[in-house]
Amino acid sequence: MFTLAEVASLSDIQPTYRILKPWWDVFMDYLAVVMLMVAIFAGTMQLTKDQVVCLPVLQSTVNSKVQPGTSGKADFTTVETTTGQGEEASMTTVPFGSDATVTPDVPLSTATQYQPTESGQEPKKDQKDSSGRRTNLDFQQYVFINQMCYHLALPWYSKYFPYLVLIHTIILIVSSNFWFKYPKTCSKIEHFVSILGKCFESPWTTKALSETACEDSEENKQRLTGAQSLPKYVSTSSDEGSPSASTPMITKSGFKFSADKPMIEIPSVTILDKKDGEQAKALFEKVRKFRAHVEDSDLIYKLYVGQTVIKTVKFIFILCYTANFVNTISFEHICNPKVEHLIGYTQFECTHNMAYMLKKLLISYISLICVYGFICLYTLFWLFKKKNTFNTLLKREESSFSDIPDVKNDFAFLLHMVDQYDQLYSKRFGVFLSEVSENKLRGISLNHEWTYEKLRQHVSRNAQDKQELHLFMLSGVPDAVFDLTDLDVLKLELIPEAKITAKISQMTNLQELHLYHCPAKVEQTAFSFLRDHLRCLHVKFTDVAEIPAWVYLLKTLRELYLIGNLNSENNKMIGLESLRELRHLKILHVKSNLTKIPPNITDVAPHLTKLVIHNDGTKLVVLNSLKKMTNVAELELQNCELERIPHAIFSLSNLQELDLKSNSIRTIEEIISFQHLKRLTCLKLWHNKIVSIPSSITHIKNLESLYLSNNKLETLPVAVFSLQKLRCLDVSYNSIAVIPVEIGLLQNLQHFHITGNKVDILPKQLFKCVKLRTLSLGQNCITSIPDKVSQLLQLTHLELKGNCLDRLPATLGQCQLLRKSGLIVEDHLFDALPSEVKEVLNQDTSIPFPNGI
């Protein structure tokens, strides 16, 4: 025998799981407990008091006839029958007539004969009371027949009803809690309940809810009083659409902590302990990882639906077969045990003393199971109807965190179950699903860590002698950054949640901004400041959609550097937005993988003076858009896999500098067309595969700089030295063996680079170029340096390292501007110089260099 407490424990689950049990599960658990009590009560009664009492049915026929008497009453024969146990006696009154007969098979001793009386007289009574009909059965025979008839005459349901109820109830209890015990769902549920408990108790939850409550109350107050709202802050991000002229910023749909509402400073709310902040950040990370893990499948939902279906089928089955047995439970039963050879009787009439109690318990059980079944049907209706609304669970109108992204699968189902238990749980858990909430926490922690003093220590001066601050991989932009009012350059790298607030208007010296993988959001006031003050912007991205929409609206921007994927071959929707609003843009630098020049670049063609395109090796095929760049003075097409000089370039009449570095150009016969570019002064064809220079190069009469390094040149044609205005000639890292004597014609030559060739002799005419300031002769086969090097009075840089020199000429000391720092040579050659020469070379000089490029 087991106790009620032990049975009740079957329906008990861990208290922590109760938050996942909505009202219908709780109600069904209580119904299951009541059904258990019914089963236990019925079973206890059956084990202790259940029995049947049987009497044989006598085979005599008593012809009863009512005789008229003076009293008008009928005569009866009273038979006293004793039960098998001899404890109780029942009296049977049999009416009889004047001709009473006894069947032959009944002994005379078992019947009492009465003689009829005359009319109007009362019958004569015996001296002692009648003892009824005798059956001639002893006690053992009655016990035997009672047990036989218990098993034969009683319906099986009357005997096993308590046990069936117990088994069915246990199955229902197991079905209700199976999803808590199944290994593949149990671990997820335990993890979810654990995280939910921590989120519920986190100080950050209270802070976030309190802050949003304050904001909501303030908003309502302003709405009621009709007060004018503050200027609306607008935030944009990479996934927003193109802004219109009337609406310069497009906000994401959803709640923003500071976007549409004035900030309400509450000291007790904004202060958060550092330890609590770290714990809250850890909770955000746990929730993110758990969500990614659980949203992959809907196993928990399917299992819950499955166990509910099983309970519903069980309810229908129980109801169908139980209803048929209600009428079979009765007090009286006829028993034919077929033991006449042992008892002497063939038929018995039996009574079942538990019949009325069992019938009432069965009706109660049917009532309970009906209620249980209707709840199961409601649960199924709720599950199938609400499945498509799980995603909108946390986006109620009264919720302060409507920015929560859609949840799905098992994660949505668990949140919905918690919400059915108590909406407070889902509301508090929603704090850790809100991006706004997480960003707010990050902002508080960030401002605690990055103070003004710490930021000031990270400020440095760049190559342009400007004050620069570089922030890398932070959770946001610290507020103290905007207090650095003397900052010239601000670099933000890998800060996905960067937000530029209105305080940037304090940074009056800020003119250059770098956003590296940082789709910064900008408030309206901050945008107005940047639009009027920002001059140079660098944007590095992976996808063009990451470029903030406000970038295309900076009307005073002069320099724009875009670094990232702009190839729209795979997706026609990918591309730059219109640059039409950038009316003052002068320099556009694009480093990408273009196959054609984006047509939007032509929007700035009228005022663009410099265009730089650095490809990553992707072949740039379509260049027709270049013809519209009529005002471009500098053009760079680097690493574009060009095989020839594009013809579109010859239409750029204002072109002054052309750079075709790192392409696959083999021949430059088209160079004759450059004669139409009257302003072209610098031509850079370095890092290509050019094998020869055509004589038509003489037509570029205004050319001042020519870069042909890292090609496959073997000779220098005489035509090159007819360019009288040439000031810089770079033919380094080719296969040139001889420097033509015509080099002496270049009287304006200031920089000559021929490093990394096969030159062995320096012509004396080289030293007639008296304006030379830089002479790079390293990594050749030169064996001696003529003494005429002393004629190069303006020489400041001389590279001789990597040759076959035995000594250096002592006349180097006559090169007045040459110092040891500008002399690149082996140490032993320098040490071999006369001491007075070394002394001259070691002297410092403050003589200004002559003007040059």
Q: Concatenated DSSP letters for 344-362?
A: S-S-EEEEETTHHHHHHHH
* Sequence letter at residue 443: G
pLDDT bucket at 89, cuts 50 / 70 / 90 = very low
Which of residues 273 and 373 earns the better pLDDT score?
A: 373
Instruction: Please state, in angstroms and as integers, the Cα–Cα distance from residue 579 to each residue in 97, 202, 533, 551, 853, following that order.
Output: 126, 47, 18, 9, 34
Q: Cβ(690)–Cβ(666) under 8 Å?
A: yes
Domain ranges within the chain, ordered by starting residue: 4-57+153-182+305-388, 665-846
Task: Give the pLDDT confidence score for residue 575 in this predicted structure.
Answer: 61
For 547-577, the pLDDT digits (tens) are 888 998 898 899 999 998 887 554 444 566 6
Distance CA 840, CA 838 (A): 5
Token readout for 236 is 């944009």
CATH architecture of residue range(s) 665-846:
Alpha-Beta Horseshoe (3.80)
Which of residues 605 and 741 earns the better pLDDT score?
A: 741
For 469-523, the pLDDT digits (tens) are 999 998 888 999 999 999 999 999 998 888 899 999 999 999 999 999 998 999 9
**pLDDT over threshold 50, residue 66:** no
Task: Give the pLDDT confidence score for residue 693 in this predicted structure.
Answer: 92
Placement of tokens 């470029």 in the chain: 547
Q: How far apart are the first and last CA of the chain?
A: 107
Q: Which residue from 696, 612, 723 is spatially nearest to 661, judged by alpha carbons?
A: 612
**pLDDT over threshold 90, residue 353:** no
Q: DSSP labels for 193-227?
A: HHHHHHHHH-HHHHHHHHHHHHHHHHHHHHHHHTP
Evaluate if pTM is beyond 0.85. Answer: no
Task: Give the pLDDT confidence score for residue 205 in this predicted structure.
Answer: 63
Among 251-260, 419-428, 721-730, the range with the most confident prediction by mean pLDDT is 721-730
Q: Cβ(401)–Cβ(211) under 8 Å?
A: no
Task: Give the pLDDT confidence score for residue 637 in this predicted structure.
Answer: 93
Specify burial of residue 70 (Cβ count, 10 A radius: 0-12, 13-18, 19+): exposed
Q: Kindly give, in sequence order, each residue whose CB lies less than 8 Å from that of residue 1, ignoring residues fewer than 6 positions away.
A: none
**pLDDT over threshold 70, residue 654:** yes
Task: Give the pLDDT confidence score for residue 632 in this predicted structure.
Answer: 92
Q: Cβ(774)–Cβ(797) under 8 Å?
A: yes
Instruction: Give the distance between the most distant pair of CA atoms in the chain.
Output: 183
For 656-673, the pLDDT digits (tens) are 999 999 999 999 988 888
| Mean pLDDT taken over the chain | 76
36-45, 282-291, 450-459, 533-542: range with lowest mean pLDDT: 282-291
**pLDDT over threshold 50, residue 98:** no
176-180, 331-335, 655-659: range with lowest mean pLDDT: 176-180
Distinct helix (H) and strand (E) counts, the chain: 18, 24
For strand 348-352 and strand 332-335, is the pairing parallel, antiparallel, or unpaired? antiparallel
* 3-state DSSP assignment of residue 587: strand
Q: Cβ(678)–Cβ(704) under 8 Å?
A: no
Specify burial of residue 121 (Cβ count, 10 A radius: 0-12, 13-18, 19+): exposed
Number of neighbouring beta carbons within 10 Å of residue 833 = 20
Q: Cβ(772)–Cβ(762) under 8 Å?
A: no
Task: Give the pLDDT confidence score for residue 290 in this predicted structure.
Answer: 76
Token readout for 684 is 């850079």
For 27-47, the pLDDT digits (tens) are 888 898 999 898 888 888 888
Distance CA 194, CA 240 (A): 37
Task: Give the pLDDT confidence score for residue 225 in this predicted structure.
Answer: 44
Which of residues 628 and 260 earns the better pLDDT score?
A: 628
Task: Give the pLDDT confidence score for residue 729 in this predicted structure.
Answer: 96
For 710-752, the pLDDT digits (tens) are 999 999 999 999 999 999 999 999 999 999 999 999 999 999 9
Angle at 404 between CA 402 and CA 407, to 5 degrees: 130
Task: Give the pLDDT confidence score for residue 751 in this predicted structure.
Answer: 96
Task: Give the pLDDT confidence score for residue 354 in this predicted structure.
Answer: 83
Task: Give the pLDDT confidence score for residue 569 in this predicted structure.
Answer: 55
Q: Kindly give, in sequence order, each residue whose CB lies less than 8 Å from that of residue 265, ignoring residues fewer than 6 positions away.
A: none
**pLDDT over threshold 50, residue 235:** no
Q: Cβ(542)–Cβ(517) under 8 Å?
A: yes
Task: Give the pLDDT confidence score for residue 13 in this predicted structure.
Answer: 47
Distance CA 59, CA 133 (A): 12
Which of residues 184 and 335 earns the better pLDDT score?
A: 335
Distance CA 627, CA 650 (A): 8
For 767-798, the pLDDT digits (tens) are 999 999 999 999 999 999 999 999 999 999 99
Placement of tokens 């005002």 in the chain: 631
Instruction: Please state, in angstroms and as integers, the Cα–Cα distance from residue 402 to each residue in 200, 282, 423, 439, 440, following that order.
Output: 19, 22, 15, 15, 15
pLDDT bucket at 157, cuts 50 / 70 / 90 = confident
For 270-321, the pLDDT digits (tens) are 445 666 666 766 777 777 777 777 777 778 888 888 888 988 998 888 888 8
Task: Give the pLDDT confidence score for residue 101 in this predicted structure.
Answer: 36
Task: Give the pLDDT confidence score for residue 616 in this predicted structure.
Answer: 85
CATH topology for 4-57+153-182+305-388?
de novo design (two linked rop proteins) (1.20.1440)
Token readout for 556 is 């005073």
| Equal CATH topology for 4-57+153-182+305-388 and 665-846 | no
